[in-house]
Amino acid sequence: MYLEPEHTKSRITDFEFKELVVLPREIDLNEWLASNTTTFFHHINLQYSTISEFCTGETCQTMAVCNTQYYWYDERGKKVKCTAPQYVDFVMSSVQKLVTDEDVFPTKYGREFPSSFEALVKKICRHLFHVLGHIYWAHFKETLALELHGHLNTLYAHFILFTREFSLLDPKETAIMDDLTEVLCSSPTGGGSGDGASGGASGAQNHVKER
């Protein structure tokens, strides 16, 4: 349903996000990553909250996007099978803890970012991508009924273009949503590899992947 032209053309702005995501002159890269990552976290959390009452342990017994089922990994690296709302809660709680940690996301003058900062941002973006994918895959009908699909499309396009600009997401990770990405974020540089990955994903529709 989310790929139907009448829905994909819905946006809340026609602004060129490719220009918006570029690192401004004289702005530190880590500062730019921190600012945008925090903003995306809040917006995606807010977008999910609009359909959270429909995402329950009964309706979404696994954290699924298309043919892929995601598992949560705790601090000890233990694989945890959980429902979609539990997974999203784990994501939002862990990200909230990181973005409010002065040692990870410093806000005071003179504080430095940790050497592992980029890796942490990539991990955050990967989890936030899972949440966006689940909203599209399992709750687009409700989002449409609430007339919030324009907000969702705009948020998705902005997020994907930002992560592409700074190589924050592995193309293999996002291949599962390449069909939507191609429509919402079509660009001369992103089309070629996207098509190949999409073909691979569609060819495995009948096989459930676990991550």
55 labelled as ligand-binding?
Answer: yes
60 labelled as ligand-binding?
Answer: yes
43 labelled as ligand-binding?
Answer: no
C-alpha distances (whole Å) from 192 to each of 113, 182, 188, 196 are 35, 10, 8, 7
134 labelled as ligand-binding?
Answer: yes
Query: Helix crossing, 149-165 with 117-145: angle to 10°?
Result: 160
Angle 151-133-88 from CA coordinates, rounded to 5° = 95
Structure tokens given for 133: 């994918």
C-alpha distances (whole Å) from 11 to each of 4, 14, 158 are 14, 7, 11
Type of residue found at 9: K
Which residues are documented as binding site?
55, 60, 134, 139
Which residues are documented as binding site for Zn(2+)?
55, 60, 134, 139
